[in-house]
């Protein structure tokens, strides 16, 4: 936590510390809220801007660029990212560009333009910008990367709250919700709350089975696909 003797203290909380994913899960809304207090535990003497960043588990991602050759779209260049967040959302009390400079926004990843994606291998700056923009746009269209620059509501300069929607396609794992208090273009305090997203019921059984007995899971998947294909063929022939 970034605090000094006279800087505020953030007390963050989330509406759900555990989100259960099961059959029929259509997504959920996560409420992130808390208070901004002075070191004595009372109301802060001045108002602060608040930015909340919710990040899901990181994953390795390969992005391919398509080119049109002879009227046909084919895969061309590609690049790999070692640790792209599977989910990334930012909510702020007002536009981040009006609160901090680009350098500070980049340090704390205060927006889609500032996500640290860690590309692997050698890639020139121009290509890195192109592939990074492509990945962010792809995730954004899937509802996995989002930002709301008026998404944090402040009450009396003490209480704050923000709602972030998690789609049904969210990856399981531990999510971190980091809240930043900002004053005069500087992050003066931060605090983290965590949310666990996990599968339950039959979905959990399948996940564990695939992890522990991956060979048999693969054979079962092939067998089921073959059986479904045979059944579909028989039904088509009978029709």
Q: Is residue 1 domain-resident?
A: no
Does residue 148 belong to any structural domain of this protein?
yes
Residue 87 lies in a domain: yes
Domain count for the chain: 2
Q: Are residues 190 and 219 in the same domain?
A: no
> Does 111 score more than 90 pLDDT?
yes
Same-domain status, 64 and 176: yes
Give yes or no for residue 114 having a pLDDT over 90. yes
Task: Look at residues 186, 187, 211, 181 and name the one whose alpha carbon lies nearest to residue 199.
Answer: 211
pTM, two decimals, is: 0.75
Q: Is residue 110 over pLDDT 90?
A: yes
- Residues 184, 231: one domain? no
Overall average pLDDT of the 133-151 stretch: 93
pLDDT for res 205:
44
CATH of the domain at 124: 2.60.40.1930
Say whether both 79 and 49 belong to one domain: yes
| Average pLDDT in the chain | 81
Whether 229 is covered by a domain: the verdict is: yes
Would 3 be classed as within a structural domain?
no
- Nearest alpha carbon to residue 180 among 105, 129, 115, 128: 105
Confirm whether 56 is domain-assigned.
yes
Average pLDDT over residues 14-27: 84
Residue 194 has pLDDT above 80, yes or no: yes
**Alpha-carbon distance 222 to 235, whole Å?**
20
For residue 32, give the nearest of 84, 90, 87 by alpha carbon: 90
Lowest mean pLDDT among 18-27, 93-102, 179-188, 195-204: 195-204
Assess whether 179 and 211 both reside in one domain.
Answer: no
Residue 29, pLDDT above cutoff 50: yes
Task: Name which of 78-87, 91-100, 162-171 the model is least confident about.
Answer: 78-87
Same domain, 134 and 234: no
- Residue 81 phi/psi, 5° resolution? -115, 125
Whole domain around residue 220: which residue ranges?
203-238
Q: Is the pLDDT of residue 191 over 80?
A: yes
pLDDT at residue 117, rounded to an integer: 84
Q: What is the pLDDT of residue 153?
A: 94
The whole-number average pLDDT for the span 119-145 is 83
Same domain for 130 and 34, yes or no, is yes
Do 63 and 156 belong to one domain?
yes
Check whether 19 has a pLDDT greater than 80.
Answer: yes
Q: Name beta bridge partners: 145.
A: 88
Residues 185 and 208 in one domain: no
Among 84-93, 99-108, 199-208, which is the least confidently predicted range? 199-208
Label residue 121 left, alpha or beta by phi (over 0 means left) and psi (-120 to 50 means alpha): left
**Domain match, 85 and 113 both:** yes
Using 50, 70 and 90 to split pLDDT, how confident is the model at 26?
confident
Do both 22 and 106 map to the same domain?
A: yes
- 229 with 133, same domain: the answer is no
In this predicted model, which residue has the larger pLDDT, 18 or 23?
Answer: 18
In a domain, 210, yes or no: yes
Question: What's the whole-number mean pLDDT along residues 101-116?
Answer: 94
């Amino acid at each position: 936590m970034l605090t000094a003797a006279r800087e505020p203290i953030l007390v963050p909380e989330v509406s759900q510390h555990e989100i259960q994913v099961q059959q029929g899960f259509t997504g959920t809304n996560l409420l992130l809220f808390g208070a901004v207090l002075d070191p004595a535990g009372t109301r802060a003497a001045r108002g602060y801007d608040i930015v909340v960043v919710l990040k899901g588990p990181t994953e390795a991602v390969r992005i391919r660029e398509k080119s049109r050759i002879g009227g046909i779209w084919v895969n061309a260049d590609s690049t790999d990212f070692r640790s792209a967040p599977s989910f990334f959302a930012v909510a702020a009390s007002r536009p981040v560009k009006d609160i901090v400079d680009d350098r500070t926004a980049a340090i704390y990843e205060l927006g889609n333009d500032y996500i640290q994606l860690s590309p692997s291998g050698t890639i020139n700056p121009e290509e890195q910008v192109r592939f990074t923009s492509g990945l962010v746009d792809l995730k954004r269209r899937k509802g996995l990367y989002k930002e709301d620059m008026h998404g944090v509501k402040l009450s009396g300069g003490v209480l704050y709250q923000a709602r972030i929607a998690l789609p049904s396609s969210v990856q399981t794992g531990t999510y971190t919700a980091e809240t930043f208090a900002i004053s005069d273009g500087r992050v003066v305090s931060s605090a983290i709350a965590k949310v666990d997203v996990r599968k339950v019921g039959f979905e959990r059984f399948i996940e564990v089975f695939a992890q522990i007995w991956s060979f048999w899971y693969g054979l079962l998947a092939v067998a089921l696909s073959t059986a479904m294909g045979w059944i579909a063929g028989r039904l088509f022939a009978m029709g």
